[in-house]
Amino acid sequence: MTVSEASQRTVSSTQPSASPLDAYSLEQLRKRTSLKWTRYEPHILPMWVAEMDCAPVPQVANVVQQMVNLGDVGYPGKTQLQRASAHTEADYTQLPSYEQAYVTFAKERWNLTVDESNIRIMPDVMQGIAHAIQALGIRALAITTPVYPYFRTYARNAGCALVEANMTNTGALDFEELERAFQQADGFLLCNPHNPSGVVPTTDELTRVFQLAHHYNVHVIVDEIHAPLTSPQAARAAGTDPFVPALSVPGSERALVLFSAAKAFNLAGLKAALMIGGPDAHPIMDVIPAEVSQSAGTVALAAHTAALTYGGQWLDTVRHTIDLRRNHLHTTLQHLLPEATVTPAQATYFAWIHMADVQGPQGIPLGSNPAEFLLHNAHIAVNPGHTFGAGGEGYVRMNLATSAEVLDTALQRIHDALTKK
């Protein structure tokens, strides 16, 4: 079976007619100046870093344009107290605050009630995590592995020792490993949903995390930047959205959560984030200098707020399209590369693919770093699994937040590289 034939098998009649992820051709995408499209030479197809190849939320583009047209790009000032209607054209002067927009978004999406007074603006999620580590005085930080590489970088920059806990082969939390790590650590950084696997901890698992943390006196910090990017397909199978907010489970009263609209709405170049504390986290958050909350830019705050306020339908279309991309990837690999296995994901737009056993053109398995083969032979850039830590060897992380054209081009390149004589 060819890639084209596999593609025909996964064409869905429910494909959105105007998905933001199909707005641009590959030729148009190559004109972008962002990191994703400029890190590698033009002949390399980039499917690595967490950027989406999408058209923006229309109201976000409108809000940014309004501000630029008026030259309103000074320091952040007061915001309106009313919530803008999601059914009206966006007027940036009538937007709620970022904090207010999150409170409404969390209630509507996850039925999570958040006290706005427990929210602080942060420059971005990773800097927010660094501030949380410092405020809590964490000396040894536990992380699960494989995990987003910058968890290690920022923890070390904050002066923390790292204690790594392996995850299960299915990407779930391994509680024997976690308990071992908690015996050596005074902090835990959890990725929920998990990056790179896309696995989402259950309510029972999160409850158990906080029980262990309480027993060993471990502070819990949670990165929930990928939370809005859950799979509608997984939600239908479970009967509910698979994402469980950390602050919704017992024992999370002193936890600190970091959130941003940056990933779900493709706003990484407009940096802003939120730190949300449990009801008993006020003393911790008050340690963080007030100046930190002034470090997000005016346009970024408005863009993130407009995304949370107006972007619901846009987000749901993108989530559905990512499901279609994931299904197409699964079907194609199953027929063309049966040795490759994809970790079932409930969230994110990443595919975590084990390719160590895939046979290369000389009949030799790709081994511990298949990303190197894909870069040099298929001219596709994906994230090497080993960069995510122990357990990532033999894997690649592929970004599925792209057009059908780009994904089919990538799959065809992989097929051609592996069958080249």
Instruction: Count Cβ atoms within 10 A of the Cβ of residue 367 and give its class: 0-12 exposed, 13-18 middle, 19 or more buried.
Output: middle
Give the count of domains, the chain: 2
- The verdict on 259 and 372 lying in the same domain is no
- For position 8, what pLDDT does the model report? 52
Evaluate if pTM is beyond 0.85. yes
Burial class (CB in 10 A: 0-12, 13-18, 19+), 214: middle
Is the pLDDT at 264 greater than 70? The verdict is: yes
For residue 114, pLDDT over 60 is answered with yes
Place of tokens 């994402």: 243
Does 292 lie in the same domain as 321?
no
Average pLDDT, the chain: 94
190 with 283, same domain: the answer is: yes
174 Rama class: left (phi>0) / alpha (psi -120 to 50) / beta: beta
Rama region for 173: left / alpha / beta (φ>0; ψ in -120 to 50; rest): beta
Which CATH number fits the domain that encloses residue 319?
3.90.1150.10
Residue 135 and residue 40 share a domain: no
Per-residue pLDDT, averaged over 333-352, amounts to 96
Residues 326 and 389 in one domain: yes
- The predicted model gives 299-310 an average pLDDT of 97
Residue 95: domain span: 58-310
pLDDT of residue 78: 72
In a shared domain, residues 273 and 381: no
Q: Is the pLDDT of residue 121 over 70?
A: yes
Q: What is the CATH number of the domain that holds 292?
A: 3.40.640.10
| Same domain, residue pair 173 and 132 | yes
What is the model's pLDDT at position 69? 97
